[in-house]
Structure 1
Amino acid sequence: MELPRGLLLAVSDELDRAELAALKFLSRDHLPRRRLEAVRSPYDLFEALQENCLLEAGNLAFLRELLYHIGRIDLLVAHLGSSREQVEKELRAPGGARVPPFRYLLFQLFEDVTEDELMSFKLLLVNELPKSKLTRETTMLDILTEMEKKGLLGKDNLSMLKSLCEKINISLWNRIEDGLKLFGQEEVLITEEQRGSTGCPGGHLVSSVAPGPPGSFNDSSQLLEAYKMTSRPCGVCLILNNHNFAKAREGVLEHKHMKDRNGTDVDAAALRNVFSKLHFRVEEYRDLTAEEIRETVNIFQSADHEDKDCFVCCILSHGKKGIIYGVDGQEVPIRELTTSFTAQNCSSLAGKPKVFFIQACQGDAFHKGVAIETDSVEEDSSLERDARFQLDCIPAEADFLLGMATLQDYVSYRSPKEGTWYIQALCQHLEYSCPRGEDVLTILTAVNQEVSKKTCERDAKKQMPQPSFTLRKRLIFPVN
């Protein structure tokens, strides 16, 4: 009995060129090299897998494993009638995982490498690999594949990879070692000194234990239970969007220079768009005074969330240490807002994730990309700051997540035309990664990486976001 051609075509049509390359790399241990090189489309790959009895009617386990590893959970659900949890259960079973741990660790290395690190790999390998294989378009998967072809890399030959990682970023190698431990492998590294006495031809890892449960090797939370997120809508996404601070400027003297937050509506629109797609009921409130902020939060604190799975609150405003400002320049403690949703104060959200994304600064200090003066941003700068506030703003109980735009004591940046670095990166990564089944903490790590690379062109100032959380489970925003 043959596999339905329509099913394979439907899955194939959903995969792009980069994902095909990833699937081919993950399949290298199961298909002949020449057959794999002849593959030009996902459907070609599926045919090759069928020829080698890796895809059969009634047995799509390997296809499910491949889609799981590249993060296409949406295809598992839509076309294969499976889910992330079901595949993880299959892979935990003895013999359930067909992608060898070594192969998967190399794949994760590819996903972790930055553009700058990739360029360093190319430069260091210029005498080892053909120049035609080290072009601008060459990916880390291409490099790893070529190293394998040239005999420079293998499960028993990791010395060159280790040396490269040590020169470029030692944490890349540390993650490989951590991965071997996560997969339950006993690792023995043969060093240069040991090679002389043992007669071993090169540094290598010897593994004698079967692979453990698969998952992200640098995040054992992949094996944790996930929060239930099946209600429709999942919950409320409350946006408090303060733009016009004319009332503050009319008040006390210290607020005379409090600017309107131009660009905040771009952030609010991005948040509305992404959280609507994630099945949240979005409610936005604009230009609230401090008392109106309290009243609005009280409305949602008193609401019945019994048939909902999550609560999200996004705050876009000026602030300072530990507080946000209403548009009248009056202060509201961040902790007062988050504590409103503890189990004691909002019982219908007990045991459910409460998520707060805060766009504001936490101080006056600047991150420096180079040696510069710590002057304030000039009046004509294309970027502005939102003032300050601190990290210790969430209750000391479970199920809270606070995503902060920047570290304690530092400023954050907002473009009057393009919105803030933090909120824009957050929305882009949520939209890209949620369909791939990534959990929110993994996504926030990617946001950290992106924002930390940005630089204010005028004076080379930087920004570094920071999440704080008491989550007990993986938080995965659904798209289906």
Structure 2
Amino acid sequence: MSVCSKVPAAIIHQIEQELDKDEQEIMLFLCRDILDLPLPDVREILDTLNEMGKLLPYGLSELLYRMRRYDLLKKILKTGKGSVEADLASHPHLVSDYRVLMVELSEALEKEDVASLVFILQDYAGRLTKAKSFLSAVVELEKQNLLAPDQLDLLENCFKNIQRKDLKLKIQKYKQTAPCLSRSSQQSFVNAVQMSLPNLAISKHSFSSLNSISETKGSMNGNHATRAGPVQLPVQESGACNSQCFGDRYRMQSQPLGICLIIDCIGNDARMLTDTFRALHFKVQCNTYVSAEDLKRILQNVASMPEHKVYDSFVCVLVSRGNFRSVYGVDQDVPAFQLDWVKNYFTVEACPGLIGKPKLFFIQNYVEHRSYQDAASPVEVDGKEHYKFNKDERVQYSTIPSEADIVWSQCRLNVSVLERSPSSSSYYLSSLCQLLHDRQRLHLLDILIELNNRIYGKDVLSRPKEHCSLHLHHTLRKKLFLTQRQ
């Protein structure tokens, strides 16, 4: 077939007529990352790709090859399987390796396997009960941020549960050989636009501007995550997000956005925090003056709440006296409650309803004299334990969340500040609330950087004993805006 500007409309029509219903579903699925927009049928997709110049010279033949319609390669495109494989070996691919993997898994599954998968996955995504095929289930999982090119553990575990170890091994092989965040996977998924703009009618003439946005997204971030450790992204540029650019952000559309657990053992900030997060459309559960034992019970109860499955995020705010790594609650003696335990209640294993969803922790810890240290503020540090020696050669520990989708913002302040003014609100928390109210159009990391700047600006004018020790760690994989987007 000679190279020209477009595929003739007659060929597109002929291919559409040759594909049965299941094959049309496969083609729609393969093209989800290419267009970044939902289209209703194969003809519309192929026509749009044709207008964009993506079907020639290799795109259309690759699609038919991925669908194993070698007969159509020969009959319509006058080429063969070997020629297409040679082209794929020497030219960029139209379809992502991730999409190809999902289609291969779909072809290997029996109807009974699909039914078992849908049943098991209802613990994580209830809407999957409507899924009629494996690929439709994959689409729903993508919409709920439970499945992505670099997020396949849930699917891998499900294959293990239905005794399909061969498919589990196939995923593991993909993880070892495929780039974790390839260019194609960074196109982000159509579901972000589908969920954000469900009723928007977009013509194919809109695609040129959206395509340029996708190109910008692909080159914006130079640092990509690796499978070896926690996913880390550099703090993105400030400013409101382009209203068309949904693929690189977390879904924040549920009503409410999620549960906000407030535990204020001091009692000065509960009302302010409650008002702030209610205004942000969170379902607030506020607890004041609790003991360390009560703290454990509250965290257990909230982590087991079924609402996490349908909400898009989770927030925990904790205010207490404590030492460098623990909090006391209203108790002034041991045993203290280790701060590590707070986030451990909301890991994937402990709270599966929050898989793939942002989990935010804001900690104000008034540290006792004997344990307070003027620590620096490491931001986005790798590893489970980070430590260094300060000027007194004492070891400073900083526990870092190793799970994905976590933000940990912690302020340590000498308890003498609280004792001198027992009813005063935390400057860290009051500044946080003000910024969350005034800067909703910024993504969260920009807000937290501005928060840090305010805290350090105040420290310059304060006595050394009143200085804050700030710790900001995150394993976010996308931008996060604490607003509902319709």
TM-score, normalised by the number of residues in structure 1: 0.44
